[in-house]
């Protein structure tokens, strides 16, 4: 029997988008990620949960090679997107990041107009041939990020003048303007009030129609609300990975159980 609420939560595809095999990450001598293998599905929201310092953000940042920017950081193992190794020497990290967008914990709009914030990515990647095409891309991205109605009359105003929740949705619009295939979100709602959080969560659910979304969150309830798959990290290990409803009703591993029920910090 399928009722509406449950089927809405269903994962609609079995296609594997991101495949990580035996990933190890070192910061100098310190091993932050220990032999993590995971397969992340397309058109699915996957939540990474775990206590601070467990490696979930580090692992997230491996997926678009953000860790390349840290000198002492070394990544071993394979990460494949659509079967292609993103750490292959032929892969241009800038091109990769157009395909794998990222939204950060703190909204970080460029000190530019709202329009230019969103148009920046499409411009540098040459996604439009003329002004009217670019206008369309900006409008579509802002609409998808559920902020168009609030900013359509002041597109030339600075992005930094928006409220926190609006800035975060602007950053999401910026991330999706390049039509990425994967969207990484590192604590996207931790600086937002409950209404802005609900709007972003609603947006995440919509984005799932087209993208594979990976979200790192400290809010267990948020992970439960937005994701279909949940991965629990602890001390650099991937302890448990499975359907979100299973993880939150009857997890297999006692460490997962302890964490989600609030028995360890």
Give least dist CB 214 to other proteins, A: 21
Q: Report the alpha-carbon distance of residue 143 to residue 251 in Å, rounded.
A: 38
From 16, 126, 221, 232, residue interacting with other proteins (rule: CB under 8 A): 221
CA atoms within 13 A on the CB side of 14: 0
Binding mask 76-95 for other proteins (x = CB under 8 A): --------------------
Q: Report the alpha-carbon distance of residue 208 to residue 204 in Å, rounded.
A: 6
| Region from 98-106, 119-127, 202-210, 216-224 binding other proteins, contact rule CB under 8 A | 216-224
257 binds other proteins (CB under 8 A): yes
Give least dist CB 249 to other proteins, A: 6
| Region from 43-51, 66-74, 195-203, 254-262 binding other proteins, contact rule CB under 8 A | 254-262
265 binds other proteins (CB under 8 A): yes
250 binds other proteins (CB under 8 A): yes
Q: Report the alpha-carbon distance of residue 205 to residue 198 in Å, rounded.
A: 11
Q: Report the alpha-carbon distance of residue 205 to residue 197 in Å, rounded.
A: 12
- Residue number, 125 or 225, with CB nearest to other proteins: 225
**Residue 260: helix, strand or coil by DSSP?**
helix
123 contacts 134 by C-beta, under 8 angstroms: yes
**Residue 185: helix, strand or coil by DSSP?**
strand
264 binds other proteins (CB under 8 A): yes
Residues near 220 by beta carbon (within 8 Å), at least 6 away in sequence: 49, 248, 260
From 141, 224, 226, 238, residue interacting with other proteins (rule: CB under 8 A): 224
Closest residue by Cα to residue 197 from 174, 173, 168: 168
**Residue 117: helix, strand or coil by DSSP?**
helix
54 binds other proteins (CB under 8 A): no
From 108, 160, 237, 258, residue interacting with other proteins (rule: CB under 8 A): 258
Binders of other proteins: how many residues, by CB under 8 A?
Answer: 18
From 220, 237, 242, 243, residue interacting with other proteins (rule: CB under 8 A): 220
Binding residues for other proteins (CB under 8 A): 220-221, 224, 248-251, 254-258, 260-265
């Amino acid at each position: 029997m399928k009722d509406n609420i449950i089927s809405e939560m269903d994962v609609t595809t079995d296609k594997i988008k991101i495949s990580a095999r035996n990933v190890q990450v070192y910061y100098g001598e310190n091993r932050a990620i220990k032999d993590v293998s995971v397969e992340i599905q397309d058109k699915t929201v996957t939540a990474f949960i775990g206590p601070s310092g467990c490696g979930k953000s580090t692992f997230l940042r491996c997926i678009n090679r953000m860790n390349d920017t840290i000198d002492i950081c070394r990544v071993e193992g394979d990460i494949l997107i659509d079967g292609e190794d993103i750490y292959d020497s032929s892969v241009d990290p800038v091109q990769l990041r157009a395909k794998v967008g990222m939204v950060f914990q703190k909204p970080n709009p460029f000190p530019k107009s709202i329009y230019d914030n969103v148009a920046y990515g499409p411009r540098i990647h040459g996604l439009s041939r003329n002004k009217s095409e670019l206008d369309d891309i900006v409008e579509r991205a802002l609409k998808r990020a559920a902020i168009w109605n609030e900013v359509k009359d002041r597109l030339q105003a600075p992005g930094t003048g928006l409220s926190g929740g609006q800035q975060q949705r602007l950053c999401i619009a910026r991330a999706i303007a390049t039509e990425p295939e994967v969207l990484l979100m590192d604590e996207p709602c931790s600086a937002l009030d409950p209404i802005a959080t609900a709007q972003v969560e609603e947006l995440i659910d919509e984005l799932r129609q087209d993208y594979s979304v990976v979200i790192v969150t400290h809010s267990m309830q948020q992970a439960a609300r937005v994701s279909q798959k949940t991965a629990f990290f602890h001390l650099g290990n991937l302890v448990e990975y499975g359907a979100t409803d299973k993880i939150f009703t009857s997890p297999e591993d006692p460490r997962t159980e302890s964490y989600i029920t609030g028995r360890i910090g």
